[in-house]
């Protein structure tokens, strides 16, 4: 176990590293970049790797992790690997097959954490985003509690050590928590979370239920043209982040990551650049003051980079509720 890393105990007794490496990549980036970046991340000390069936890079991420196991840098049990159930596999009879496809690509026996990627189920089939003849995404209708029961079976089968959700709002979390016969609580809710959308209320709710909030987009996302409005503000250019970076002699990125750690959030950071990857692991080496934290809290404007507008009229669209 890497001593540089701090861990948080999940509500099922497993431990998650507080900093994770993100592996989403825009379509135009070659898959080989993922292999290279994941290896660099492990060499730099990252032990938590966040991926998903839908990212279509699990083969590359698996290859990178297995090569770092083969060369003795880590053991499988040192790595905390997250995958996610894609929305076209929500029907209970399909859930385990999505996980098995991921495991096969990874060449792993288990994942450490398996998440429902989104509460918005889509029509089953080969396409990640099935569309009708008018280009509209085709939805499906599955009770989220039934999806959760299938997730519980994946844990019981030993294919996932822990199970959780992503992009769920409070109402959807409560639906699972109040499910009659609930066997396992979600260990976490992975959501967009950064200084422009700090998720204060959702974080407080999650803490009250012993659910860890995992932050994605903490650095303002990769601004992928497919999903992010290119005229949106560039998070790391924010003057308050800049001033605190100067004060602490760190980068704005490190300030943005450190902010999450100090409020009890597990944080993901993505980069393909060696210098950035090596820098991001230094988030454990300094501390923000209470005043710095307050200045960062004040930046909140409930701004979402990834609003998943394609699903705005989906019955389970999570982002219409206040939180």
Ligand X SMILES: NC(=O)c1ccc[n+]([C@@H]2O[C@H](COP(=O)([O-])OP(=O)(O)OC[C@H]3O[C@@H](n4cnc5c(N)ncnc54)[C@H](OP(=O)(O)O)[C@@H]3O)[C@@H](O)[C@H]2O)c1
Q: Does 253 bind ligand X (CB under 6 A)?
A: yes
Report phi then psi at 71, rounded to 5. Answer: -90, 5
Contact 258, 288 (CB under 8 A): yes
Residue 63 or residue 120: which is nearer to ligand X going by CB? Answer: 120
Q: Does 279 bind ligand X (CB under 6 A)?
A: yes
Cα→Cα distances 32→20, 22, 39, 70, 279, Å:
20, 15, 11, 19, 22
Q: Does 318 bind ligand X (CB under 6 A)?
A: no
Catalytic residues: 55
CB of 305 to ligand X, least distance (A): 8
Q: Which residue is nearest to ligand X (CB)?
A: 22
Q: Reduced to 3 states, what is the DSSP secondary structure of residue 172?
A: helix
Q: Does 269 bind ligand X (CB under 6 A)?
A: yes
Residues 100-129 that bind ligand X (CB under 6 A): 117
Residues 65-104 that bind ligand X (CB under 6 A): none
Helices (H), the chain: 31-44, 58-70, 92-106, 144-156, 170-177, 200-208, 239-248, 252-262, 274-280, 290-297
Stretch that binds ligand X, among 106-114, 140-148, 262-270, 287-295 (CB under 6 A): 262-270
Contact 266, 80 (CB under 8 A): no
Residue 19 or residue 180: which is nearer to ligand X going by CB? Answer: 19
Stretch that binds ligand X, among 16-24, 130-138, 284-292, 313-321 (CB under 6 A): 16-24
CB of 103 to ligand X, least distance (A): 18
Stretch that binds ligand X, among 30-38, 97-105, 122-130, 211-219 (CB under 6 A): 211-219
Residues 147-166 that bind ligand X (CB under 6 A): 166
Beta-strand relationship, 266-269 and 111-116:
unpaired
Task: Spell out the residues 6+ positions from residue 294 whose beta carbon is closer than 8 angstroms to its own.
Answer: none
Euclidean distance between CA atoms 177 and 22, whole angstroms? 27
Report, in this order, helix, strand and coil percent for the chain, each rounded to 5.
Answer: 40, 15, 45
Q: Is 117 annotated as a binding residue?
A: yes
Residue 93 or residue 283: which is nearer to ligand X going by CB? Answer: 283
Q: Does 190 bind ligand X (CB under 6 A)?
A: yes
Euclidean distance between CA atoms 107 and 127, whole angstroms? 23
The residue within the footprint of ligand X, chosen from 221, 238, 241, 292 (CB under 6 A), is: 221
Report phi then psi at 168, rounded to 5. Answer: -90, 140
Q: Does 268 bind ligand X (CB under 6 A)?
A: yes
Q: Reduced to 3 states, what is the DSSP secondary structure of residue 55?
A: helix
* Residue ranges in contact with ligand X by CB under 6 A: 22-24, 50, 117, 166-167, 190, 216-222, 236, 251, 253, 268-273, 276, 279-280, 306
> Which residues does the annotation place in the binding site for substrate?
117
């Amino acid at each position: 176990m890497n001593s540089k890393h701090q861990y948080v105990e999940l509500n099922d007794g497993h431990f998650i590293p507080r900093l994770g490496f993100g592996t989403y990549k825009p379509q135009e980036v070659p898959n080989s970049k993922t292999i290279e970046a994941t290896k660099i991340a492990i060499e730099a000390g990252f032990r938590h790797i966040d991926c998903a069936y839908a990212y279509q890079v699990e083969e590359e991420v698996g290859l990178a992790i297995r090569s770092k196991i083969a060369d003795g840098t880590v053991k499988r049990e040192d790595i905390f690997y997250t995958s996610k159930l894609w929305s076209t596999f929500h029907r209970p009879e399909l859930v385990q097959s999505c996980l098995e496809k991921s495991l096969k690509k990874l060449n792993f026996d288990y994942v450490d954490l398996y998440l429902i990627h989104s509460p918005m189920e889509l029509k089953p089939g080969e396409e990640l985003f099935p569309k009708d003849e008018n280009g509209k995404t085709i939805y499906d209708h599955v009770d989220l509690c039934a999806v959760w029961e299938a997730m519980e079976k994946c844990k019981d089968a030993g294919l996932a050590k822990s199970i959780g959700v992503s992009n769920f709002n409070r109402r959807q979390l409560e639906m699972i928590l109040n499910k009659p016969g609930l066997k396992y609580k979600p260990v976490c809710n992975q959501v967009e979370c950064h200084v422009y959308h700090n998720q204060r209320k959702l974080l407080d709710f999650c803490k009250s239920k012993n659910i860890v909030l995992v932050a994605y987009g903490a650095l303002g996302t990769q601004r992928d043209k497919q999903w992010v409005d290119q005229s949106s503000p560039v998070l790391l250019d924010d003057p308050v982040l800049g001033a605190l970076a100067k004060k602490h002699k760190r980068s704005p990125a490190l300030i943005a990551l450190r902010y999450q750690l100090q409020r009890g959030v597990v944080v993901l950071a993505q980069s393909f650049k060696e210098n950035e990857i090596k820098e991001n692991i230094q988030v454990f080496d300094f501390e923000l003051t209470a005043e710095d934290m307050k200045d960062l809290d004040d930046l909140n404007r409930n701004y979402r980079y990834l609003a998943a507008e394609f699903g705005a009229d989906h019955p389970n669209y999570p982002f219409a509720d206040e939180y």
